[in-house]
Chain A
Amino acid sequence: QVQLQESGPGLVKPSETLSLTCSVSNYSISSGYYWGWIRQPPEKGLEWIGSIYHSGTTYHNPSFKSRVTMSVDTSKNHLSLMLRSVTAADTAVYYCARAAYSFGDGYYFDFWGQGTLVTVSS
């Protein structure tokens, strides 16, 4: 089955850019599906950041839109997230996940990576 693995720096300084990669195995990104980024601050709930199709089409959470860039590299079969101007409030476990489609409902996440903790601190 499809597997996802997030990677990136575990520590980012305030005002800098958080950059993460999600490597996908056992499924070719270019074959379809949207792919999403979700985060979870310590002791808080899940928060959707945005989702991207292999063509580059995106959906964004308005709360992040001005700070987020998502991209897909089909040659490497991975997706990337950049979050600019981070603050301590961006400290969270960041997940990538595959978004399946349900007619009438839209998209939902069926397979998730294990997540990676990113701490924003000087």
Chain B
Amino acid sequence: SYELTQPRSVSVSPGQTARITCSGDGLSRKHAYWYQQKTRQAPVLVIYEATERPSGIPERFSGSTSGTMATLTISGAQVEDEADYSCYSTDSSGNHWVFGGGTRLTVL
């Protein structure tokens, strides 16, 4: 089955750049999507099609892909960005929709 792998945690100080990675064989062919989930809240889409930001998402959030690894970058992370971040993609057939295991971002 198709899997997406993320680090369990990332920590940065306020103002630093946070980078969260997501690896999966299919990411060289399909884009990654990124969701932010704050405590006891529903996920919110912060990046789609690997690099695009939905309306209302701050410019400090950006996405990129290199080979089979996608990266969510938060430039100048703020305390309010502390949350779980999950990547998402589909397998080559499009039949299996997969989330990464999630990364807890601590901004402290």
Could you tell me which A residues sit within 8 Å of B by CB distance?
36, 38, 44-48, 51, 59, 61-62, 95, 102, 104-110, 112-115
Contact = CB atoms under 8 A, between A and B. Distances in A.
A46 B96 contact: no
Nearest to A60: B95
B36 to A, nearest CB: 11
Residue among A45, A59, A61 with the most chain B CB within 10 A? Answer: A45
A48 B42 contact: no
Given A105-B49, A105-B90, A46 B33 contact: no
B100 A105 contact: no
Nearest to A49: B97
A105 B89 contact: yes
Interface residues of B, number: 27
Given A104-B30, A105-B30, A95 B97 contact: no
Contacts of A38: 99
Contacts of B98: 48
Interface string B81-100: 00000101110001111111
Contacts of B42: 95, 112-115
A114 B43 CA distance: 9
B1 interface: yes
A106 B88 contact: no
The 9 closest A-B pairs by CB, nearest first: A106-B94, A45-B102, A106-B90, A46-B99, A112-B42, A45-B101, A48-B97, A108-B33, A105-B31
Contact of A45 (B48, B94, B97, B100): B100
Nearest to B95: A59
B86 A45 contact: yes
A109 B31 contact: no
A46 B94 contact: no
Given A108-B97, A114-B41, 15 more contacts: A36-B97, A44-B101, A46-B35, A46-B43, A46-B86, A46-B88, A46-B102, A48-B97, A95-B42, A105-B30, A105-B31, A105-B33, A106-B30, A107-B94, A113-B42
